[in-house]
Structure 1
């Protein structure tokens, strides 16, 4: 019990150190312009914004045929070798449509996110039979979704949004009889982020939000260990 508590406390401490070490936080908001916390330039005559990625730690670890498991063949083709959780990619923000956020009751949001959660479980358990592959694939899914933390906290170089073309594939996951589809949806992981829509209307403030969002983040992280 003591060892487990110690590991949890160390984890929270490491997260705190990482957040305070972000080089982006030291750049004055006034030097970037209102609403441009990351200093990303946009050409007003163009309908897209290309957002460069910050240098991220990468390894050459490969899961292709990991431990001789054939169901992991071509695993690295999706995001690429050394980019296990899709931390490195060029984001392209499209401006030909405007999406404005609107607040719904938090229970409504939680319901929808649980639907996505259970769908992920269904796909992994119905369409993968090797438990080792289930573990690797879920680990990748969990880790890649976790990088969104850095976007929400404005610690990454990516704007906070979603890939509209990928989201549009959601109805194709299930066939008319309710069974899971098995057809190729026509994209790879390297395509994700190339059609990003960034909703406007949130309450982010370059001066106060970095601290308030980090406070919310660490409170939520602490709740996981209770």
Structure 2
């Protein structure tokens, strides 16, 4: 795992140990519902960009494997936040998310520039949107049922 320690590393592979500093914005960020297909489209774009970065900018299959596992384990950590099984609030780092335009160059090629942060920086400027339907009574069961249904759908698809 040498070389991965400056970006979460083996003792914090999924980023779950990162400190979270919630920032209060002058204009509060509020969750609002958008058609699921639009959300799915945006997330697939991010997924395909991640695949592009991994396949175009990492030549060693072992490193591709480790980086992909680290990337996906970060989503498992976020799932724990959503289900309120972690000690973190549900949000995102606004500074890191704001760097999306730095992923590609003006000609559409992938940027190779250093974005100037490491893995432990993630969470230092967390925004927590308000407007969630979470409640402590029904929330844990509702999240577990939704997660189980999604996993069953994924397993049925991959078994075909």
Question: TM over 0.5: same fold?
Answer: yes
The correspondence for 2:48, drawn from 92, 101, 118, is: 118
Give the distance between the partners of 2:11 and 2:133, measured in 1 at CA: 35
Following TM superposition, by how much is the alpha carbon of 1:130 offset from its aligned partner in structure 2, in angstroms? 0.9
Number of aligned residue pairs: give it: 155
* 1:91 partnered with 2:20: yes
Q: Which residue of 1 aligns with 2:154?
A: 224
Q: Which residue of 2 aligns with 1:181?
A: 111
- Aligned residue for 1:211, secondary structure, equals helix
Question: Please, which runs of 5 or more residues in structure 1 have no aligned partner?
Answer: 1-62, 65-73
Q: Which has the larger radius of gyration?
A: 1
* 1:200 partnered with 2:130: yes
Q: Which moved more, 1:91-100 or 1:150-159?
A: 91-100
Give the distance between the partners of 1:198 and 1:153, measured in 2 at CA: 15
Q: Which runs of 4+ in 1 moved over 2 A?
A: none
Alignment of 1:101-180 (within 5 A): 101-180=31-110
Following TM superposition, by how much is the alpha carbon of 1:203 offset from its aligned partner in structure 2, in angstroms? 1.0
Following TM superposition, by how much is the alpha carbon of 1:156 offset from its aligned partner in structure 2, in angstroms? 0.4
Following TM superposition, by how much is the alpha carbon of 1:175 offset from its aligned partner in structure 2, in angstroms? 0.4
For CA contacts below 8 A with separation 6 or more, give which structure has more relative contact order: 2
Give the distance between the partners of 2:67 and 2:139, measured in 1 at CA: 34
Following TM superposition, by how much is the alpha carbon of 1:91 offset from its aligned partner in structure 2, in angstroms? 0.5
| 1:95-122 deviation per Cα after TM superposition (whole angstroms, max 9, x unaligned) | 1241001101100000000000000000
Give the distance between the partners of 2:143 and 2:10, measured in 1 at CA: 32
Q: Which residue of 1 aligns with 2:6?
A: 77
Scaled by the length of structure 1, the TM-score of the pair is: 0.67
Question: Please, which runs of 5 or more residues in structure 2 have no aligned partner?
Answer: none
